[in-house]
Amino acid sequence: VCFITGGLDCSISFVSHVLGKVCIHGRQKEILSILVPRLTDLTKSDCIWQRICWRLVECVPDRCMEAVVLGFVQRAPGADVLSRLLGNLVVKNKKAQFVVTQKMLLLQYGHSTMVLQNLLGYLALDSLRRALLIKVLKDLLETWGSSSAVKHSPPEQQQYISQAILICLSHLKEHEIESSRQELLTSMMEGVKCHLDSNLPQIRRLGMIVAESISSKINTDGPVLKFQYEDDEAARELKSLLVQTPPSHVVPSLPDEDRNEKADEAGPVVLESNKKSHTAAPVKPDEELDAELDSDDDLIPYDMSEDKELKTKAPVYIRDCIEVLTGSEDVDKWEATVKALESLVRKNPAATREVSVELAKILLHLEEKTCIEGFVELRQRAQVAVLTTDPIPVAKYLTSQFYSLNYSLRQRVDILDVLVLAAQELSCPKSHGKTKHSGAEKPCIQLLPGSDSSKDWRKIVDERIKSKTRRFAMGQSQVERASGPNEFNSVAGHFFFPLIQHFDRPLTTFDLLGEDHFVLGRLVHALAVLMYLAVNTVAVTAMGKALLEFVWALRFHSDSYVRQGLLSCISSVLLSVPAERLLEDITAELLETQSWLGDVVEKDPDGECRRLALQNLLLMENLKKKLKTIPS
């Protein structure tokens, strides 16, 4: 498309109409890919061409405005270019304003970070448009801070909004921050509350990063908000948006140098010294003094090889351990006991069985008396050891305590973790000798690449289930597995059914269906793992049936973490219960579940849930196919 050059009084509106028509028919890419670079060059220094360009876009008919503006914003190589091309269109044209400030930011979320940078940079460049920038920031913050948005919008959209907020913040000038300081503070406080309440770690992290950034902008002097979260590529990338790079180096997708993070670590402890004090400058002993007759040589040292570090000995008997843990004032001994407990329990199974419930009780209530490294890990390992040594009574105790009054959330979640870890240990055949203990592994949710082939479903579901469990010991890398009877068989029911029993009965301090949805989420995931580990046990069908009913009762829960857990439960049921049993005993529940899954795939806002539901449907299909091929 050639352009009319040199003509002074040509009517631009015809061209605008053409442009509009083309764009609205969906041909933005073709026309704008030629138009925009041409215009960029022409408007670079020529004012007239700039005005022509502005007239061009202003005259685009309203119904096509959206398509045109969208196209321009997406194509422009930089905010300043966009500014040259569009001019003050957003101020003059209502539709354009709507598209730029509302639609692209709040209603759509598929645009890349580049586009966001261009858009918001464009708004920031002109004083007339800056008012829009402030308004946009306020709208974004309102959305960011609304608890229903946090609960129901997909994580991708929340990420998009957070990015937009950070870029806006980076453009704000001092006086603008001053005037809206109070509002920023209020919205930050509300927003951070909703975000931290969420069960999904990535939402929590988004909230933390945005809150930190806002706080650093409004409190330039004085203490700023600082959270602790996993600082990886994604986080750094997000934070890099807060700092504007000069337009010539616009490549915001590469992570910047970490400037905001790495809060200044407290330097080496500086000793307070008086004016009069002299810093410790060691005076080297003079060489001449050494030449003197050294009477020290007359003194022959004795044997000092026995001089070692003083260590307190840990008790050798289980009952002694109990005594130390419950009553002893001697903190060294207490520490030594905590460290030695797990191995003692494993070496003395008979002695442990005598006092197992008591020991479990002590461990559940054990608080950190002194600062031991890895205390939580030590306690958990000891609990798992006790549970695996004497499963039935201890499981009975733990599951009853899960639903009792006056336990902290941490303790209830501990119970779940311990049950899952012990179930895992019991259901795996024992490798010869000790389990390998590596250092503590951070709980992390692995993002696996999606795969279409149905053979990988099982592996992916496995991984997903395993990754949802907080594990402190590294998985065993078993080279050869000795086969032995499945110890989980006899106790699976004891682990599983009591946990499911009372979930709808609220207590004064613990309401699974109400506020404590975090624990509900963990419970659901734990049940999924227990179900999965119960493969090949006798109780598996009954468990499956109970679990599907449980899922059915909770299927409309508002928290996406809980829903993900419910879908994992279904996967576990489909994988663990033998196909024949599924068809014969659990048919009704299966059909109901299938219809619900279809619903989830179409309508659930959370992408993870939709994916899991799809996997489950595919699993069901596979099962059907498998059953058809078996000659009946």
Partner 1 sequence: MALPPPDPQFVLRGTGAAVHTLHFSCGSQEPAVPVLFSGSENGVIHVWNLETRRVDTALDGHGRKSVYCVRTMGGKARLLSQGRDQRICLWDLAEGRTAVTDSICTENVGFCRCSLVKVAQGRWLLAMAAKALQEVQVLELPSKTSVCTLKPEAGAKLGMPMCLKLWQPHCGSQPLLLAGYEDGSVVLWNLSTGKALSQLVCHQEPVMSLDFDSEKAKGISGSSEKVLSIWSLNEQQNLQVYKTHQLVNAGIADVTIRPDKKILATAGWDHRIRIFGWKKLKPLAVLDYHTTTVHCLAFSDHTHPAERLLAAGSKDHRISVWSIYTQT
> Which residues make up the interface to partner 1 (CB under 8 A)?
269, 271-274, 276-278, 280-283, 285, 294-296, 298-304, 306-310
Which residue lies nearer to partner 1 by CB, 182 or 277? 277
Q: Which amino acid is at 520?
A: L
Cα(589)–Cα(597) distance, integer angstroms: 12
Structure tokens at 92: 């003059």
Contact indicator for 207, 190 with CB cutoff of 8 Å = no
Which residue lies nearer to partner 1 by CB, 306 or 452? 306
Which residue lies nearer to partner 1 by CB, 278 or 455? 278
- Angle at CA 187, nearest 5°, toward 110 and 195? 60
Tell me how far, at minimum, the Cβ of 286 lies from partner 1, in Å.
11
Contact indicator for 245, 256 with CB cutoff of 8 Å = yes
Tell me how far, at minimum, the Cβ of 318 lies from partner 1, in Å.
27
Cα(144)–Cα(161) distance, integer angstroms: 7
Tell me how far, at minimum, the Cβ of 153 lies from partner 1, in Å.
53
Q: Would the CA dihedral through 265, 271, 274, 280 be positive or negative? A: negative
Contact indicator for 423, 456 with CB cutoff of 8 Å = no
Tell me how far, at minimum, the Cβ of 314 lies from partner 1, in Å.
18
Q: How many CB atoms lie within 10 A of CB 75?
A: 21
Cα(542)–Cα(539) distance, integer angstroms: 6
Tell me how far, at minimum, the Cβ of 547 lies from partner 1, in Å.
56
- Angle at CA 347, nearest 5°, toward 346 and 352? 65
Tell me how far, at minimum, the Cβ of 327 lies from partner 1, in Å.
21
Tell me how far, at minimum, the Cβ of 295 lies from partner 1, in Å.
7
Contact indicator for 244, 170 with CB cutoff of 8 Å = yes
Which residue lies nearer to partner 1 by CB, 280 or 350? 280
Structure tokens at 115: 């586009």
List, as one string, the DSSP characters of 500-538: HHTTT---SS--TTTT-HHHHHHHHHHHHHHHHHTTT-T
Which residue lies nearer to partner 1 by CB, 284 or 603? 284
Cα(134)–Cα(113) distance, integer angstroms: 19
Q: Which amino acid is at 268?
A: P
Which residue lies nearer to partner 1 by CB, 108 or 370? 370
Contact indicator for 67, 24 with CB cutoff of 8 Å = yes
Q: Which amino acid is at 562?
A: V
State the Rg of the chain over Cα.
Answer: 33
Tell me how far, at minimum, the Cβ of 323 lies from partner 1, in Å.
21
Cα(522)–Cα(412) distance, integer angstroms: 10
Which residue lies nearer to partner 1 by CB, 277 or 632? 277
Tell me how far, at minimum, the Cβ of 427 lies from partner 1, in Å.
46
Q: What are phi and psi of 272, to 5 degrees?
A: -75, 130
Which residue lies nearer to partner 1 by CB, 174 or 303? 303
Which residue lies nearer to partner 1 by CB, 264 or 303? 303
Which of 598, 563, 567 is CA-nearest to residue 154?
Answer: 563
Which residue lies nearer to partner 1 by CB, 2 or 304? 304
Tell me how far, at minimum, the Cβ of 378 lies from partner 1, in Å.
24
- At 374, is the secondary structure helix, strand, or coil? coil
Which residue lies nearer to partner 1 by CB, 269 or 482? 269
Tell me how far, at minimum, the Cβ of 270 lies from partner 1, in Å.
11
